[in-house]
Amino acid sequence: MVPGRHRPAVVRVDLSAIRENVAEEVKRLKPKQKLFAVVKANAYGHGAIPVAKTALKAGADGFCVALLDEALELRQAGIVKPILVLGVTPAEDAPLAAVHDVSLAVPNLAWLKQAEQFLQEEQLQLKIHLAIDSGMGRIGFSEDDEFVAANKFLTANKSFFIEGMFTHFASADSSDERYFQKQVARFNHMKELLTIKPKWIHVDNTAASVFDKNVPSDIVRFGIGIYGLNPSSNPASPDLHAALKLRPALSLVSELTHVKIIHQGDGVGYGSTYVADGDQVIGTVPVGYADGWLRKFQGFKVKVGDSYCPIVGRVCMDQFMVRLPQTMPVGTKVVLISNDPAEPNNIKAAADYLDTIHYEVACMLNDRLPRVYDNE
């Protein structure tokens, strides 16, 4: 996708906030504990390479991504620290990961056997982390027999280096710990079945760490916290209290490209879902659902100059309209998402308006919106 560099609309990322969030979490690490920065999905929409390099300077020991392609992007950018792919990678791509020193998650025994064939053909060894499905229902070993068989298969196996074993918690961001404790118990049971010895055993995601769940973990997989966002962002409910202060890094800014007066009975946008009840000032902002600014934002208030103005009419593919309190000049700054959590258009407020979570809002903002980095 071609970035829209010839229109006034950008995602701004404050790298000083990224540095601060990572550095504060590094201070909380236990002795010998590592921090792996999770930069999947283009660093949750913030930009994988700038965020990864900033995280390194702040003390990150490695990285987690979702796809092998994301790992290769980091390697091509000159990053040499450990990288773990958390999702399932096709077994035939195991040699490619091995060549680039990328660690892969193992979802089951069948994958191991398939990957072994490809690795033996190339005479390569792959670093692996055994995924345990302790209750997420996503990927990983969940049955004792299969896990025991995998341990036996890996014993003295030259095709694999057992770098890690991990699970992912489904509800570490919840005040109700019953399911969380069930997952902990299940993971501990699987650890007792180990006959091989992984280098790292890790369970901590951002939530488990910042809410002090106190489960032993050699690695903290620090994800949403990097970006200054609380992992307990459930729609229309208050955040749980985090053990460290998080500073949001992302804002979305544009400006007015057109201002006009409409009259009583005039409609705005497709379907004329908004009709003026008198003379009104309407401003146009050059951002739309093709950028990830969804049609459901109709009615949400964005900051135009010093005023919070409602989006009127349906959000178009490339533009949306706002009702202004008075005539404002073309070029007036518009803040769609503020990185100030006290502002009413912060990213959690935007997510609440859509009845979703701020992870999704950040990831929706696509590459047609250029990223601009402040405080590098």
* Positions marked active-site: 40, 270
- What's the rounded Cα separation, in Å, for the pair 101 and 207? 28
- Helix runs in the chain, H state only: 15-28, 40-44, 48-58, 68-76, 94-99, 109-122, 144-154, 178-192, 206-210, 347-354, 358-364
CA 160 to chain centre: 29
Place of tokens 């283009």: 42
| b/e sequence 70-103, b meaning 16+ C-beta within 10 Å | bbbbbeeeebebbbbbbbbbebebbbbbbeeebb
| Of 163, 196, 151, 167, residue with least CA distance to 84 | 163
The number of C-alpha atoms within 13 Å of 226 and in the hemisphere containing its C-beta is 36
CB 94 within 8 A of CB 159: no
- What's the rounded Cα separation, in Å, for the pair 235 and 220? 25
- By DSSP bridging, strand 34-38 and strand 126-132 are unpaired
CB 80 within 8 A of CB 61: no
- What's the rounded Cα separation, in Å, for the pair 130 and 200? 10
- What's the rounded Cα separation, in Å, for the pair 339 and 345? 9
| b/e sequence 243-254, b meaning 16+ C-beta within 10 Å | eeebbbbbbbbb
